[in-house]
């Protein structure tokens, strides 16, 4: 013991008598504590990962099970935010694939058990797959079924938003970004700073100088004369043709932004999609009729686009269930 004290005493004298070394030590301890706080209290450091894909451009990395902000996120072998699908569909249950974008994906601020597709799974009448990723649209959905097929599904629900009529992506090699990373961050603290803190500060500064339109608003400004303007409907038609060939029943839920739901004034793409679905003989449900029954509209959205609240996801599940009744009313008769 005395030997250890004799060896440590000079080191302690150096540390406490050197302001620079002492400051470095304090900084290192502070960074370590901040890292532990970001990882274990805030739940950073374990984002869901993506991979580049020649069919869908990008897709959730298969077979992930992680916790994010304290919430469980599970991705199965076919890149759905859902439990594993059985190789063979149970004959006494419908297998439903719900295609969408970030609205269906559910975000990381809700536990897996709270997202709409899982609420439907828990009811026990259906086997539901969440086929969605942030930013996805008809071209991505088409790529998914070209890659995986319909996986013995009996039914497909398309959750479509107004901007999907104008959805157009120039094929590129997906390289990932901070919001959809290909690999985990160096540290939880670094992720908190570079993915959340700095972008939010930058957004505040940009908004103060020149407010920027949302992606859906920018999409709506595309001229209908542009040959790209209705590419989303072209891809959607190809998707429906594959569904018909596979014998899958298709219904659609036309999703509304918070502003659309509050005002009752829909963006132009909504009418284009509704007309297209009618021409293709696809039953559709306007979600506003359901959302107004669920409670105050403001309580269903976490921002202008996403229903990332427990009430919002429960209402989305209700809308998906109601849409399925358009094709299979007997399933919910009991």
* Domain contains 62: yes
Helix, coil or strand: residue 132: strand
pTM equals 0.85
One domain, residues 72 and 17: no
Helices (H) and strands (E) in the chain, counts: 13, 9
One domain, residues 154 and 250: yes
Total tally of structural domains belonging to the chain: 2
One domain, residues 61 and 35: no
One domain, residues 248 and 274: yes
* Domain contains 292: yes
* Domain contains 259: yes
* Domain contains 93: yes
- Please tell me the number of Cα atoms within 13 Å of 129 on its side-chain side: 26
> Which domain CATH number covers 87?
3.40.50.1110
* Domain contains 35: yes
One domain, residues 144 and 97: yes
One domain, residues 6 and 99: no
One domain, residues 263 and 285: yes
* Domain contains 207: no
One domain, residues 87 and 156: yes
Q: Which H helix or E strand runs over 247?
A: none
> How much of the chain is in helix, strand and coil states, percent to nearest 5?
50, 15, 40
One domain, residues 111 and 221: yes
Dump pLDDT digits (tens) for 95-105. 999 999 999 99
* Domain contains 192: no
Per-residue pLDDT of the chain (334 residues; tens, 9 = 90+): 455 555 556 656 665 667 766 677 778 888 888 888 888 888 888 899 999 999 999 999 999 999 988 899 999 999 999 999 988 898 888 999 999 999 999 999 999 999 999 999 998 789 999 999 999 999 999 999 999 999 999 999 999 999 888 877 666 789 998 889 999 888 888 888 888 887 877 656 655 554 444 444 434 444 444 555 578 889 999 999 999 999 999 999 999 999 999 998 888 889 989 999 999 999 999 999 899 999 899 999 999 999 999 999 999 999 999 999 988 766 555 4
Domain span including residue 316: 50-175+214-332
In angstroms, the CA 250 to CA 129 distance is 14
One domain, residues 258 and 316: yes
One domain, residues 274 and 238: yes
One domain, residues 137 and 167: yes
């Amino acid at each position: 013991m005395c030997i250890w004290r004799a060896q440590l005493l000079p080191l302690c004298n150096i540390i406490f008598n050197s302001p620079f070394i002492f400051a470095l030590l304090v900084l290192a301890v502070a960074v370590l504590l901040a890292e532990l706080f970001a990882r274990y209290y805030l739940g950073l450091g374990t984002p869901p990962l993506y991979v580049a894909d020649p069919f869908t451009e990008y897709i959730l990395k298969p077979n992930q099970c992680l916790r994010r902000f304290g919430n469980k996120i599970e991705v199965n072998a076919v890149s759905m935010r859902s439990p594993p699908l059985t190789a063979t569909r149970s004959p006494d249950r419908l297998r439903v694939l719900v295609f969408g974008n970030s609205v269906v994906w559910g975000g990381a601020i809700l536990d897996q058990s709270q997202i709409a597709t899982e609420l439907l799974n828990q009811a026990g009448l259906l086997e539901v797959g969440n086929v969605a990723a942030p930013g996805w649209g008809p071209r991505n959905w088409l790529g998914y079924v070209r890659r995986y097929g319909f996986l013995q599904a009996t039914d497909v629900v398309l959750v479509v938003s107004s901007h999907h009529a104008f959805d157009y992506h120039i094929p590129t090699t997906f390289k990932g970004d901070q919001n959809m990373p290909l690999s985990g961050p160096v540290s939880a603290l670094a992720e908190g700073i570079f993915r959340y803190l700095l972008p939010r500060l930058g957004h505040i500064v940009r908004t103060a100088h020149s407010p920027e339109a949302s992606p859906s608003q920018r999409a709506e400004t595309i001229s209908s004369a542009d040959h790209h303007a209705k590419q989303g409907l072209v891809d959607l038609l190809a998707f429906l043709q594959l569904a018909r060939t596979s014998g899958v029943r298709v219904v659609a839920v036309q999703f509304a932004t918070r502003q659309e739901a509050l005002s009752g004034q829909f963006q132009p793409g909504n009418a284009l999609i509704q007309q297209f679905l009618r021409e293709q003989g696809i039953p559709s449900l306007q979600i506003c009729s359901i959302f107004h029954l669920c409670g105050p509209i403001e309580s269903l959205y976490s921002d202008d686009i996403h229903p990332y609240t427990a009430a919002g996801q429960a209402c989305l599940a209700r809308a998906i269930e109601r849409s399925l009744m358009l094709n299979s009313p007997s399933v919910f008769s009991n």
